[in-house]
């Protein structure tokens, strides 16, 4: 069978779908980014990245000019490609329940456009068992497709570099599925790691959970040191210095964003809500903004002060505000302080944000939320809460 396109990425204008589409197109594949977000599709076709991703704009310009990438809101485009990679969002709801059917429902909606002989690759981070469920659905629909689960493991912002340097986990129930998926990803990386689908589903969740627990350890140690009047970062640096067994002890800071908490909660739900370490990590990480406010209340009459938050994205050098703890901090301070003013050099989607100079002029007290490099040379006489020690003045609150 001759295919008009090599790859269609479903969710192809999202934070992981678009870098994958770009990377494959840049290596010579003919790629379609299919996404139901019409604004993002129009932006991509016009050469605009919908979000910050290091080094992506020149690649986008290159692959558009070479006609190796196109974007569409038309699901019929799925029928034209040999490989269908699905990387739609798999969120948790406001009660922390995973949307277990997000991916199966997206695939059911695509069913009229799937064709015999395609390789369907699931790439979202899924609730364990979703690959098996999709296998059954395909059978019920009478669709003779190969199916693989190949989880995405990049960190937002570094996707283009990491797609070509990280090993790719490839899982399929069939040898053909494994071979075809490995062949596709070998265009990006030389290292393919094979697992069974259920192992691969857990491998992805374990990876994110491990990071989440590690950050929680750092944040808890920060609080212990801080309550004792000691500077966590000074202790951490000394402990890690030339001592490999402590070298991976992270600094403290807001641990947030669209993946780590969500995936820890997916694993907890999968294990009948029995995941003491993951749930304790959530209490620590999600509790950090409240802890900081409680500490500030001991030193300041917050109700008389305007507090400025610097950095509203969920992490440094990002424009992504999804599940950002800076917003949780803003909500608490809106209740406790006289007023809160916020700024971020990268976030353009929130009209309530103010320029940095305005925030510096109006705030009596500053908190660094996302430690963007732009704040490194900050000059202010105001007290600054700087848990990550971006300014190098210490982290005591
Ligand atoms: N963001 C990360 O750093 C990261 C890293 C590794 C894995 N993941 C996983 O990748 C998946 C996607 O995450 P993301 O951050 O890219 O989310 P995202 O919201 O940025 O992207 C998802 C895209 O899919 C589109 N979409 C949703 N449903 C669709 C449908 N039925 N048909 C067509 N388009 C549809 C959305 O419009 C959006 O553009 C999640 O499972 C996430 O856990 C994310």
Place of tokens 């803003």: 330
Give every residue of the chain whose pLDDT is below 70, as ranges. Answer: none
Distance from chain centroid for Cα 65: 29
Q: Give me the pLDDT at residue 314, please.
A: 98
Place of tokens 């990071």: 211
Ligand 1 pocket test target in 14, 120, 203 with most atoms within 8 Å of CB: 14
Q: Give me the pLDDT at residue 336, please.
A: 98
Ligand 1 pocket test target in 8, 10, 16 with most atoms within 8 Å of CB: 16
Nearest to 136 by CA among 175, 169, 170, 108: 108
Ligand 1 pocket test target in 9, 11, 112 with most atoms within 8 Å of CB: 11
Nearest to 34 by CA among 69, 4, 66, 78: 78
Q: What are residue 367's DSSP bridge partners?
A: 309, 385
Calculate how far, in angstroms, residue 49's C-alpha sits from the geometric centre of ligand 1. Answer: 15
Which phi and psi angles does 381 have, rounded to 5°? -90, -10
Ligand 1 atom, smallest distance to 156 CA: 3
Calculate how far, in angstroms, residue 144's C-alpha sits from the geometric centre of ligand 1. Answer: 26
How far is residue 235's CA from residue 283's CA, in Å, rounded to a whole number?
A: 23
Calculate how far, in angstroms, residue 179's C-alpha sits from the geometric centre of ligand 1. Answer: 25
Q: Which two tokens stand for residue 233?
A: 């970062």
Calculate how far, in angstroms, residue 18's C-alpha sits from the geometric centre of ligand 1. Answer: 9
Nearest to 312 by CA among 358, 251, 354: 354
- Reported as a single tens digit per residue, the pLDDT across 145-167 is 999 999 999 999 999 999 999 99
Cβ of 307 less than 6 Å from ligand 1: no
How far is residue 386's CA from residue 311's CA, in Å, rounded to a whole number?
A: 11
Whether 83 and 89 have beta carbons less than 8 Å apart is answered as no
Whether 200 and 132 have beta carbons less than 8 Å apart is answered as no
Q: Give me the pLDDT at residue 365, please.
A: 97
Going by alpha carbons, the residue nearest to atom 33 of ligand 1 is 35
Calculate how far, in angstroms, residue 13's C-alpha sits from the geometric centre of ligand 1. Answer: 8
Q: Give me the pLDDT at residue 195, please.
A: 98
Q: Which residues contact 298 (CB under 8 A, 6 or more apart)?
A: none
Ligand 1 pocket test target in 35, 98, 108, 123 with most atoms within 8 Å of CB: 35
């Amino acid at each position: 069978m001759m295919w008009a396109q090599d790859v269609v990425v479903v969710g192809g204008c999202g934070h992981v779908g678009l870098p994958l589409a770009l990377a494959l197109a840049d290596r010579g594949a003919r790629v379609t980014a299919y996404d139901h977000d019409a604004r993002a599709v129009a932006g991509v076709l016009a050469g605009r990245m919908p979000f910050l991703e290091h080094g992506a704009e020149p690649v986008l310009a290159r692959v558009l000019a070479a006609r190796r990438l196109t974007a569409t809101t038309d699901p019929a485009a799925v029928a034209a490609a040999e490989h269908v990679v699905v990387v739609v969002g798999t969120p948790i709801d406001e009660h922390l329940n995973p949307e277990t059917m997000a991916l199966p429902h997206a695939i059911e909606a695509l069913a009229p456009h799937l064709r015999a002989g395609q390789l369907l690759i699931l790439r979202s981070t899924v609730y364990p068992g979703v690959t098996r469920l999709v296998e059954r659905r395909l059978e019920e629909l009478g669709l003779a497709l190969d199916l693989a689960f190949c989880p995405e493991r990049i960190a937002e912002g570094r996707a283009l570099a990491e797609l070509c340097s990280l090993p790719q986990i490839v899982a399929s129930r069939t040898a053909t599925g494994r071979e075809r998926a490995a062949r596709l990803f070998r265009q990006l990386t030389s290292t393919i790691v094979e697992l069974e689908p259920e192992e691969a589903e857990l491998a992805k969740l374990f990876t994110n959970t491990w990071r989440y627990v590690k950050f929680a350890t750092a944040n808890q140690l920060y609080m212990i040191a801080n309550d004792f009047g000691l500077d966590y970062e000074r202790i951490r640096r000394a402990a890690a210095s030339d001592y490999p067994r402590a070298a991976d002890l992270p600094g403290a800071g807001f641990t947030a964003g669209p993946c780590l908490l969500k995936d820890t909660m997916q694993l907890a739900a999968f294990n009948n809500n029995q995941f003491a370490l993951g749930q304790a990590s959530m209490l620590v990480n999600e509790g950090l903004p409240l802890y900081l406010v409680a500490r500030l209340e001991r030193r300041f009459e917050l109700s008389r002060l305007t507090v400025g938050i610097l950095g509203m994205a969920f992490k440094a050098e990002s424009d992504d505000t999804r599940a950002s703890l800076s917003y949780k901090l803003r909500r608490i301070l809106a209740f406790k302080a006289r007023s809160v003013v916020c700024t971020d050099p990268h976030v353009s989607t929130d009209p309530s944000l103010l320029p940095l100079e305005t925030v510096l002029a109006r705030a009596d007290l500053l908190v660094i939320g996302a430690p963007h490099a732009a704040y490194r040379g900050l000059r202010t006489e105001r007290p600054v809460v700087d848990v990550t020690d971006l300014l190098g003045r210490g982290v005591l609150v």
